[in-house]
């Protein structure tokens, strides 16, 4: 059997190749094409058909041999940050308590499926919202439930996401006692002026001190998120943010580019002239470059285009599995998951979620069918995320790699990659545009598929 292809033209559209410019990191594309690689709209099942399909999947006693994860969502925040699209509900003790009780029921019910018990989980991520707003008792209980009901691998990464605000020693100790071994705090910026404008609670001194205490205790992996491009950020205060990462001793850091969207508090403030216009993409590109250079000089290990680790304990396993298209069991209102390639997004509305969970344990509205070429798309996303496209990690290996040569050569001419015989390494500019490159390669292969005959 030989491999032939629909020969792509020598001249590809700029949307795929980026454009030639003296500063590719700033100008190769005009805008990031989304927070994550976009694999297009998928067909979906709903109603009884969706529930039946899911039940068939979950009664399987044979699980895939791939690493997999659990995602548990806590949709409450004390204050809505101006830039954020994840906010669902304002924290209210009664609501959190009621939510927690039903979450417990959902967790136990989902743990009982043969699929769940068929293989151990390699990562658990409790995200939000602000899971650190749970009480010490709830954190203790949640960790215990996870350990009691799910098969976990020996070195399973169990992350609690949230923020440092009111994250007391009682909460930290309760989470540690019940087996959380990684904490991911959204810091966004250490700078007090930037924080105030974004409606972040607490000032720089508090954040520095609390983070230093948590890392000094040396009891768990501590990672933080920073955002670049927020109003009032400058090259100078961003450099100070980067230095603060070192001074607090955290084990991992994500650098996220600010994405703005209509309807956010930030956009409303800008439109009403109450807030300065945030930096444009070319300025944000320079901040990314500054961060990249800084952590490289500091000897941090780069785990993805936007994540650096100072310590071997930090693996960022959940994020990496999510980008590889691994199976993820979703629990909670607004949790997203993937079971055997079927995608499900649970209802964000707590009442709808409650009704679904009470009726049949599941609260999703649609079950998306596995994407066409899901394995290929996940391989591309994961490769671009890690900054290296290796022929051996692509389905159809070298044949597919060679088939993409025209695209890779265009990227190389535009300063986005360096081509080697069996791999393509993304330059710093290419890494900044990693999501665009992943989307471009996926689109290229849709336009010019590699066909076997
Ligand atoms: C779901 S949030 C939860 C974090 C936590 N609640 C907090 O307040 O820090 C996870 C991360 O998404 C990132 N994020 C939120 N909105 C963003 C935006 N508009 N652009 C880029 N990153 C954003 C932030 O860095 C945040 O830490
Ligand atoms: S950044 Fe965190 S605390 Fe702020 S609104 Fe988003 S999820 Fe809530």
pLDDT for res 372: 83
Residue at token pair 């020996």: 154
**Atom number of ligand 1 nearest to Cα 185:** 9
47 or 97, which is more confident: 97
Q: What is the pLDDT of residues 340-349, one digit of tens each?
A: 999 999 999 9
Residue 14 CB neighbours (<10 A): 15
**Atom number of ligand 2 nearest to Cα 199:** 4
CB 203 within 8 A of CB 252: no
CB 286 within 8 A of CB 235: yes
Ligand 1 pocket test, candidate residues 186, 198, 262, most atoms within 8 A of CB: 186
CB 331 within 8 A of CB 72: yes
Ligand 1 pocket test, candidate residues 202, 225, 287, 316, most atoms within 8 A of CB: 225
Q: What is the pLDDT of residues 365-419, one digit of tens each?
A: 889 999 888 899 999 999 999 999 999 999 989 999 999 999 999 999 999 999 9
Domain ranges of the chain: 3-39+373-452, 46-323
Q: What is the pLDDT of residues 243-295, one digit of tens each?
A: 999 999 999 999 999 998 887 888 888 888 888 887 899 999 999 999 999 99
Q: Which pair of tokens denotes residue 358?
A: 């009470």
CATH topology of domain 46-323: TIM Barrel (3.20.20)
Phi, psi for residue 110 in degrees, rounded to 5? -70, -25
Q: What is the pLDDT of residues 98-152, one digit of tens each?
A: 999 999 999 999 999 999 999 999 999 999 999 999 999 999 999 999 999 999 9
Residue at token pair 């669902």: 88
Burial of 212 (0-12, 13-18, 19+ CB in 10 A): middle
Residue with the smallest CA separation from ligand 1 atom 21 is: 258
| Dist. CA 190 → ligand 1 center (Å) | 14
Q: Report CA dihedral (407, 409, 411, 414) to the nearest 10 degrees.
A: -140
What are the angstrom distances between the C-alpha of 101 and each of 106, 135, 162? 9, 13, 20
Among candidates 346, 383, 381, 340, which has minimal Cα distance to 361?
A: 346
Residue 166 CB neighbours (<10 A): 13
4 has a pLDDT exceeding 60: no
Ligand 2 pocket test, candidate residues 90, 91, 130, most atoms within 8 A of CB: 130
3 has a pLDDT exceeding 60: no
| Dist. CA 164 → ligand 1 center (Å) | 13
pLDDT for res 452: 59
Which residues contact ligand 2 via a Cβ below 6 A? Answer: 77, 80-81, 84, 86-87, 128-130, 163, 186
What are the angstrom distances between the C-alpha of 442 and each of 13, 57, 79, 202? 14, 28, 38, 42
| Dist. CA 381 → ligand 1 center (Å) | 21
């Amino acid at each position: 059997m030989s491999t032939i292809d629909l020969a792509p033209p020598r001249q590809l559209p700029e949307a795929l190749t980026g454009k030639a410019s003296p500063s590719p990191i700033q100008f190769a594309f005009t805008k990031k094409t989304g927070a994550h690689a976009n694999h297009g709209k998928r067909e979906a099942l709903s109603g009884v058909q969706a529930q039946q399909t899911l039940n068939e999947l979950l009664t399987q006693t044979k699980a895939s041999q791939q690493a997999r994860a659990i995602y548990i969502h806590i949709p409450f925040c004390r204050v809505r940050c101006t830039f954020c699209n994840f906010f669902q509900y304002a924290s209210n003790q009664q609501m959190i308590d009621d939510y927690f009780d039903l979450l417990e029921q959902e967790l136990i019910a989902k743990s009982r499926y043969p699929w769940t018990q068929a293989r151990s989980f390699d990562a658990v991520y409790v995200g939000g919202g602000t899971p650190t707003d749970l009480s010490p008792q709830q954190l203790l209980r949640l960790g215990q439930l996870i350990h009691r009901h799910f098969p976990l691998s020996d070195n399973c990464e169990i992350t609690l996401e949230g923020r440092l605000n009111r994250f007391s020693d009682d909460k930290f100790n309760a989470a540690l006692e019940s087996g959380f071994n990684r904490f991911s705090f959204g810091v966004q910026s250490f700078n007090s002026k930037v924080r105030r404008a974004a409606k972040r609670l607490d000032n720089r001194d508090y954040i520095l001190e609390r983070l230093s205490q948590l890392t000094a205790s040396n009891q768990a992996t501590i990672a933080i998120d920073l955002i670049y491009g927020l109003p009032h950020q400058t090259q100078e205060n961003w450099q100070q943010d980067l230095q603060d990462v070192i001074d607090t001793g955290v084990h991992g850091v994500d650098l996220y580019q600010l994405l703005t969207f209509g309807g956010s508090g930030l956009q409303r403030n800008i439109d009403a002239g109450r807030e300065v216009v945030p930096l444009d993409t070319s300025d944000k590109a320079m901040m990314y470059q500054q961060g990249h250079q800084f952590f490289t000089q500091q000897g941090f290990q780069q785990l993805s285009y936007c994540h650096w680790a100072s310590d071997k304990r930090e693996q960022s396993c959940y994020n990496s599995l999510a980008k590889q298209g691994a199976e993820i069991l979703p629990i909670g209102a607004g949790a997203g998951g993937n079971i055997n390639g079927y995608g499900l997004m649970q209802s964000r509305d707590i009442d709808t979620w409650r009704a679904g969970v009470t009726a049949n344990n599941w609260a999703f509205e649609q079950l998306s069918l596995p994407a066409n070429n899901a394995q290929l798309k996940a391989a591309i996303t994961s490769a671009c995320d890690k900054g290296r496209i290796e022929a051996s990690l692509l389905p159809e290996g070298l044949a597919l790699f060679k088939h993409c040569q025209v695209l890779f050569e265009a990227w190389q001419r535009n300063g986005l990659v360096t081509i080697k015989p069996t791999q393509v390494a993304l330059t710093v500019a290419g890494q900044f545009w990693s999501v665009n490159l992943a989307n471009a390669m996926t689109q290229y292969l849709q336009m010019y598929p590699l066909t076997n005959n």
